[in-house]
């Protein structure tokens, strides 16, 4: 990789050992992925729940946090993804004390590094959405795909170590979706059915993700007949990134880089092309319902709920009573508004529990299942459905309304 | 000796028994990292132990957690010997770099079809051209 004078000084240790480690890490990654140089980034976003970090990862962070203050601080705004718990509700989730202690140690270390503990995966709805063409270093696949596709920003998937590196050096290796050439469509999806609810949008994302196949693919959707809202894009993108490891999509006539099809489909190029309709969406949803007539728990999470979703859920729960655990997981930015507007009180009066600053699958999901006797789970998040199978759950992908109905019927699913 | 050259590699040269499937890889989505087995029921290696094996799979999948998880798995010693993929994503490269873990990716052939499950293989990312050798 070509390095500037400043980058060579970082590599030589002139900026201290944390920056030296960071630029070395970035050079190794950049070389592997064919980067020729670095690109400055304006923001970083770090995924680092302690179920992923483990004790070894937390100790690694603590060693970095023990460096002298001038040597350890991030140099660009650097924010955090959800934590592994909501400290106020950990006991109700039956999380063990060692999990809480480890989370607190990680937070203390991140704060020493200068990270702003936003604890959110919907920063594009609540903190500072990136603008078109802005180079950023974001973790959380849902954040990356939304920022790239809906905002027109430029980021690769930056896992925790690389996002922290970007925070420390203020740059990232220039490969992948920082480059114009990587942002053209590589497959086309002809959509004959525009989803109606968030669960449908997630299912469509899952289908397109499976068709795309890997990180370097960029699907272009044709035929969406209205402009989706932010929450719809959020669920679609999160599922697409989860099922396909995809970081960028275009929606012709909707997303900023694809106002016309030929903006992203090069002239004369023949791309893979697939048709997707309502039957495909219903088939994906039905595949998760198979053999499940009752669930143990209902979870709205992944991504965290927006204020609008919190309002929708409160409306659906009014006058009803959840008789199995029902969790609504939101961000620390949305939660105070939900409290102030009475949404939290309405959800909890109906037997639900509002959780803040965590995400269900990042919160020791396997251990929570074992401690609480949960196995069958209902959610409207296709992303959550895709992840939780590996944690021992049998997830059912339903609409928000059907999830609420199940929660209020002792978990029984409508046939 | 049959050799398959890769587009990129990092880590040390290692030798081990191949665990092969035409399926994806994500440490968060696919593994029970405590027991060291594939745990996602839909995965073609569901129930198989990956500890000490050279994992040969199709494409990196899922989210960003693997970037931390490889380091954590290595610290506990519940870890594959190496990872060999047709298509990598940045997260795998970032995780391998943090954990100093052996990984190669990008072949002229579908590597999941070219290597038999259980074959003894050597993964060598140290040469000018990273490669996998059938031993």
Tell me the DSSP string of B76-127. HT---SEEEEEE--HHHHHHHHHHT--EEE--SS-HHHHS-TT-EEEEE-SS
- A326 vs A22, A39, A95, A277, A400, CA distance in Å? 41, 44, 16, 31, 12
Determine the pLDDT at residue A300.
98
Total-model pTM: 0.97
Looking at the complex, does the CB of residue A12 fall below 8 Å from at least one CB of chain B? no
Backbone angles phi, psi at A355, to 5 degrees: -115, 145
* Alpha helical stretches, state H, A290-413: 307-317, 334-340, 343-349, 365-372, 382-388, 400-407
CATH number at residue A350: 3.30.499.10
Share of chain B above pLDDT 70, in %: 100
Confidence band of B1 (pLDDT split at 50, 70, 90): confident
- B84 vs A78, B11, B59, B105, CA distance in Å? 32, 12, 9, 6
Nearest-CA distance B10 → chain A (Å): 7
Determine the pLDDT at residue A266.
87
In this structure, the answer to whether residues A163 and A215 fall within a common structural domain is no
Query: Within a domain: residue A412?
Result: no
* DSSP codes, A27-91: HHHHHHTT--SEEE-S-EEE---HHHHHHHHHHHHHHHHTS-HHHH--SS-EEE--BS--TTTTT
* CA atoms within a 13 Å half-sphere pointing along the CA-CB vector of A302: 29
Report d(CA A407, CA A209) in Å as an integer: 29
Query: Within a domain: residue A414?
Result: no
* Residue A359, token pair as written in the block: 């995400």
Q: Determine the 3-state secondary structure of A267 from DSSP.
A: coil
Contacts of B88 in chain A (CB under 8 A): 32-33, 215
Nearest-CA distance B15 → chain A (Å): 21
Answer whether B55's CB lies under 8 Å from B119's CB.
Answer: no
In this structure, the answer to whether residues A49 and A148 fall within a common structural domain is yes
Supply the range of the domain harboring residue A245. Answer: 184-284
Q: What is the CA radius of gyration of chain A?
A: 21
Backbone angles phi, psi at B29, to 5 degrees: -75, -30
What's the total number of domains in chain A? 3
pLDDT tens digit at each of 415 positions of chain A = 999 999 999 999 999 999 999 999 999 999 999 999 999 999 999 999 999 999 999 999 999 999 999 999 999 999 999 999 999 999 999 999 999 999 999 999 999 999 999 999 999 999 999 999 999 999 999 999 999 999 999 999 999 999 999 999 999 999 999 999 999 999 999 999 999 999 999 999 999 999 999 999 999 999 999 999 999 999 999 999 999 999 999 999 999 999 999 999 988 889 999 999 999 999 999 999 999 999 999 999 999 999 999 999 999 999 999 999 999 999 999 999 999 999 999 999 999 999 999 999 999 999 999 999 999 999 999 999 999 998 999 999 999 999 999 999 999 999 8
Q: Determine the 3-state secondary structure of A106 from DSSP.
A: helix
Q: Which of A178, A200, A223 is the last residue of a domain?
A: A178
Report d(CA A76, CA A24) in Å as an integer: 18
Q: Do A157 and B64 touch (CB under 8 A)?
A: yes
Answer whether A33's CB lies under 8 Å from B93's CB.
Answer: yes
Q: Do B72 and A32 touch (CB under 8 A)?
A: no
Report d(CA B69, CA B104) in Å as an integer: 18
Q: Kindly report the CA angle at A297 between A295 and A299, in degrees rounded to 5?
A: 120
- A32, A46, A136: best mutation site toward chain B, by most B Cβ within 10 Å? A32
Query: Within a domain: residue A21?
Result: yes
Report d(CA A340, CA A302) in Å as an integer: 23
In this structure, the answer to whether residues A39 and A77 fall within a common structural domain is yes
Answer whether A159's CB lies under 8 Å from B67's CB.
Answer: yes
- A119 vs A59, A126, A223, CA distance in Å? 20, 11, 36
Residue B90 has its nearest CB partner, among A53, A176, A387, at A176
Report d(CA A120, CA A363) in Å as an integer: 13
Interface of A with B in 130-159 (CB under 8 A): 139-141, 156-159
Backbone angles phi, psi at A46, to 5 degrees: -110, 120
Query: Within a domain: residue A118?
Result: yes
Residue B62 has its nearest CB partner, among A158, A245, A362, at A245
Report d(CA A142, CA A239) in Å as an integer: 8
Report d(CA A23, CA A17) in Å as an integer: 10
Report d(CA A83, CA A51) in Å as an integer: 9
Nearest-CA distance A139 → chain B (Å): 7
Report d(CA A198, CA A381) in Å as an integer: 8
Which residues make beta-bridge pairs with A262?
none
Report d(CA A228, CA A235) in Å as an integer: 11
In this structure, the answer to whether residues A210 and A297 fall within a common structural domain is no
Looking at the complex, does the CB of residue B5 fall below 8 Å from at least one CB of chain A? no
Q: Do B10 and A28 touch (CB under 8 A)?
A: yes
A330: left (phi over 0), alpha (psi -120 to 50) or beta: beta
Contacts of A390 in chain B (CB under 8 A): 28-32, 39-40, 43
In this structure, the answer to whether residues A277 and A239 fall within a common structural domain is yes
Contacts of B8 in chain A (CB under 8 A): 31-34
Is it the case that residue B62 has pLDDT exceeding 90? no
* DSSP codes, A310-336: HHHHHHHHTT----S-EEEEE-TTHHH
Q: Which of B50, B55, B15 is nearest to B135 (CA)?
A: B15
Q: Which of A155, A178, A201 is the last residue of a domain?
A: A178
Q: Name all contacts of A125-132 with Cβ < 8 Å and 24+ positions apart.
A: A125/A230, A125/A234, A125/A306, A126/A306, A126/A331, A126/A333, A126/A334, A127/A79, A127/A333, A128/A43, A128/A77, A130/A42, A130/A43, A130/A155, A132/A256, A132/A257
Report d(CA A168, CA A153) in Å as an integer: 20
Q: Is the ipTM of this complex over 0.85?
A: yes
In this structure, the answer to whether residues A148 and A253 fall within a common structural domain is no
Q: Do B60 and A215 touch (CB under 8 A)?
A: yes
In this structure, the answer to whether residues A232 and A364 fall within a common structural domain is no
Interface of A with B in 306-365 (CB under 8 A): 361-362
What's the total number of domains in chain B? 1
Supply the range of the domain harboring residue B39. Answer: 3-134
In this structure, the answer to whether residues A126 and A223 fall within a common structural domain is no
- A30, A80, A156, A159: best mutation site toward chain B, by most B Cβ within 10 Å? A159
E strand residue ranges, A174-331: 187-191, 219-222, 250-251, 272-276, 297-305, 326-330
Q: Which of A284, A303, A319 is the last residue of a domain?
A: A284
User: What's the count of helices (H) and strands (E) in chain B, helices before strands?
Assistant: 4, 10
* Residue A142, token pair as written in the block: 């849902």
């Amino acid at each position: 990789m070509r390095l500037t004078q400043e980058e060579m000084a970082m590599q030589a240790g002139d900026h201290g050992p944390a920056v030296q480690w960071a630029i070395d890490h970035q050079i190794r990654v950049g070389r592997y992925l064919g980067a020729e140089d670095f690109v400055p980034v304006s923001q970083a976003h770090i995924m680092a729940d302690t179920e992923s970090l483990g004790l070894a990862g937390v100790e690694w962070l603590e060693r970095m946090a023990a460096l002298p203050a001038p040597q350890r601080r991030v140099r660009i705004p650097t924010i955090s993804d959800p934590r592994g718990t909501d400290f106020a509700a950990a006991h109700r989730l039956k999380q063990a004390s060692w999990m809480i202690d480890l989370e607190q140690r990680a937070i203390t270390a991140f704060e020493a590094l200068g990270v702003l503990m936003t604890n959110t995966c919907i920063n594009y709805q609540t903190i500072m959405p990136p603008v078109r063409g802005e180079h950023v270093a974001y973790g959380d696949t849902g954040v990356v795909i939304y920022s790239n596709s809906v905002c027109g920003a430029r980021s690769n998937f930056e896992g925790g170590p690389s996002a922290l590196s970007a925070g420390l050096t203020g740059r990232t290796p220039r490969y992948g979706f920082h480059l114009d050439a990587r942002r053209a469509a590589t497959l086309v999806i002809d959509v004959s059915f525009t989803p109606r609810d968030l669960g449908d949008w997630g299912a469509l994302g899952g289908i397109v993700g499976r068709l795309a196949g890997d990180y370097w693919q960029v699907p272009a959707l044709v035929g969406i007949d209205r402009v989706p809202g932010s929450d719809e894009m959020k669920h679609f993108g999160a599922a697409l990134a989860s099922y396909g490891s995809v970081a960028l999509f275009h929606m012709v006539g909707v997303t900023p880089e694809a106002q016309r099809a030929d903006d992203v489909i090069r002239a004369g190029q023949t791309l893979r092309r697939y048709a997707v309709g309502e039957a495909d969406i219903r088939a994906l949803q039905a595949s998760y319902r198979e053999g499940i007539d009752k669930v143990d728990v209902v979870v709205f999470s992944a991504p965290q709920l927006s204020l609008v979703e919190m309002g929708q859920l409160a409306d659906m729960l009014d006058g009803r009573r959840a008789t199995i655990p029902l969790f609504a997981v939101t961000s620390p930015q949305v939660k105070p508004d939900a409290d102030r507007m009475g949404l939290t009180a309405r959800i909890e009066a109906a037997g639900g529990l509002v959780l803040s600053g965590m995400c269900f699958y990042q919160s020791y999901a396997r251990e929570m299942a074992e401690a609480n006797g949960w196995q069958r789970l209902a959610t409207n998040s296709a992303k959550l459905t895709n992840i939780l199978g590996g944690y021992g759950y049998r997830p059912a992908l339903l609409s928000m309304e059907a999830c609420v109905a199940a929660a209020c019927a002792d978990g029984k699913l409508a046939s | 000796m049959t050799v398959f050259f890769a587009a990129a590699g990092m880590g040390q040269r290692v030798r081990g028994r191949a665990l092969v499937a035409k399926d994806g890889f994500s440490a968060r989505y696919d593994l029970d990292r405590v027991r060291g087995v594939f745990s996602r029921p839909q995965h073609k290696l569901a129930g198989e132990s990956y500890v000490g094996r050279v994992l040969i799979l199709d494409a990196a999948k899922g989210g960003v957690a693997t970037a931390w998880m490889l380091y954590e798995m290595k610290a506990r010693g519940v870890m594959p010997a190496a990872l060999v993929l047709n298509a990598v994503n940045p997260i795998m490269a970032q995780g391998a770099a943090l954990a100093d873990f052996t990984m190669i990716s990008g072949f002229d052939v579908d590597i999941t079809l070219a290597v038999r499950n259980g074959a003894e293989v050597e993964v060598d990312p140290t040469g000018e051209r990273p490669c996998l050798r059938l031993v």
